[in-house]
Structure 1
Amino acid sequence: MKLVIGNKNHSSWSLRPWLAMKVAGLHFDEINHDLYADGALAERLRHGPTGKVPVLIDGDITVWESLAIAEYLAEAEPALWPADRAARTVARAVCAEMHAGFTVLRTQCPMNVQLRTRTDVDAALAAELDRLAALWADCRKRFGAGGDFLFGAFSHADAFFAPVATRIRSYGLPVPQAVQAYADTLLALPAFLDWEAAAGRETRHG
Structure 2
Amino acid sequence: MFDTLFKHLEQKVKLEEQEKALIPVFFKTKKLKKRQFLFQEGDYCKQLAFVSKGIVKSYTTDDKGNDHINLFGWEGWWVSDFRSFICNEKAILSIDAIEDSELLLISKDKYEQLLEAVPIMERYFRILYQNSLVTKDRRLISSNTYTAEEKYKELINTYPFIQQKVPQHLIASYLGVTPETISRIKKNL
TM-score of the pair, normalised by structure 1: 0.28
The structure carrying a bigger strand percent of its residues is 2
The structure carrying a bigger helix percent of its residues is 1
TM-score of the pair, normalised by structure 2: 0.30
Larger Rg: 2
